[in-house]
Amino acid sequence: MKFNPVTEVHTAELKSMVTPDRFSTGESNLNLHSKDQSHHKASRPEAVMWPVDRREVSDILKYANEHHIPVTGWGAGTSLEGNPIPVRAGIVLDFSHMNQILEIREEDFQTDVEPGVGYAISMKHSDTKAFSSRQIRGHQPPLAG
């Protein structure tokens, strides 16, 4: 599949989907979202967006799909495998604003979370519910990558 770049027309349309403070083509944000903690080569996106709910994610993905613009999800950039690096440029969706625990089902030890929920938030909440992960980490990565 051939992917298209984010043009000025796309930028205007994408900006209208979120509040102005949750869309960026600024150098610092593009650079920040070009590399994770792996040894893989950096690759800059053309835009970064911070959705706050499923509707925004759906609208952005629908638009990107219709216009063949690549989209890469971003948790915190702590991956050691290169997963959040936008190798085809396009849009990075930074899920840091989607950080709610939706439901804890103690009976089956399951938790439904938004993609920006980090390990520390999850463990803090699960400790109050009398169960937690035995995994110990040196940093606080997101649960979803």
Can you read off the two tokens belonging to residue 24?
Answer: 């960026």
Q: Strand 47-49 relative to strand 91-94: parallel, antiparallel, unpaired?
A: parallel
Where are the domains positioned within the chain?
A: 8-97, 99-145
Other CB atoms within 10 A of residue 70 CB: 19
Can you read off the two tokens belonging to residue 43?
Answer: 């690759």
- Of 56, 115, 64, the C-alpha closest to 47 is 64
- Of 44, 29, 41, 116, the C-alpha closest to 82 is 41
Residues 72/40, Cβ–Cβ less than 8 Å? no
**pTM metric for this prediction:** 0.83
Report the pLDDT value the prediction gives residue 79, as an integer from 0 to 100: 84
Report the pLDDT value the prediction gives residue 6, as an integer from 0 to 100: 98
Does the domain formed by 8-97 have CATH 2.60.120.260?
no
Handedness of CA 73, 28, 97, 132 (dihedral sign): positive
pLDDT in tens, the chain (145 residues): 899 999 999 999 999 999 999 999 999 999 999 999 999 999 999 999 999 999 999 999 999 999 999 999 998 888 889 999 999 999 999 999 998 888 888 888 788 888 888 765 555 555 555 455 555 455 555 555 5
Report the pLDDT value the prediction gives residue 34, as an integer from 0 to 100: 98
